Amino acid sequence: IKLDLIHNYMQRKKVGFEDQRISMLDLQYHDIKRSRGLYYILTREELVERMATEADIDRAVVEPPMSTRARIRSDFIKYAMDRNKSYDVGWSYLKLNDRYQRTILCKDPFQSKDPRVEEMIASS
């Protein structure tokens, strides 16, 4: 869907992938704000078929897939927030901003548990 949208735009505007507007389209397609995300606009105009219900989407915002590192991130964030701990989280890393400044890289997107994270939580 997104690639078709981008290709159609490129043909209409006679631009290539290097055009900044293409980068914006790419980002806007994934915007989760229902008022401005291109996917939601296409859905409202019935140009694409929905694959998930609104309830599925709302649940996904607060419940990570249990079989991916998103679960590790979610558990870590809940732990840190519940205990008022300062932390940083990225796509593939977790950092507890304590006196030790511990950082754990979580490279495998399909790993849902990590003993290093569990140990860090238990020891702080």
Residue in the structure block whose two tokens are 């870590």: 76
Average pLDDT, the chain: 93
Q: Is the pLDDT of residue 27 over 90?
A: yes
pTM of structure: 0.62
pLDDT digits (tens, 9 = 90+) for 60-111: 888 999 999 999 999 999 999 999 999 999 999 999 999 889 999 999 999 9
If you write DSSP's letter for every residue of 34-59 in order, what string do you get?
TTT-HHHHHHHTTSS--SS-HHHHHH
What are 95's strand-pairing partners?
A: 88, 103
Average pLDDT in the 25-47 region? Answer: 91
Q: Is the pLDDT of residue 7 over 90?
A: yes
SS3 assignment for 55-94: HHHHHHHHCCCCCCHHHHHHHHHHHHHHCCCCEEECCCEE
Number of Cβ within 10 Å of residue 94's Cβ equals 26
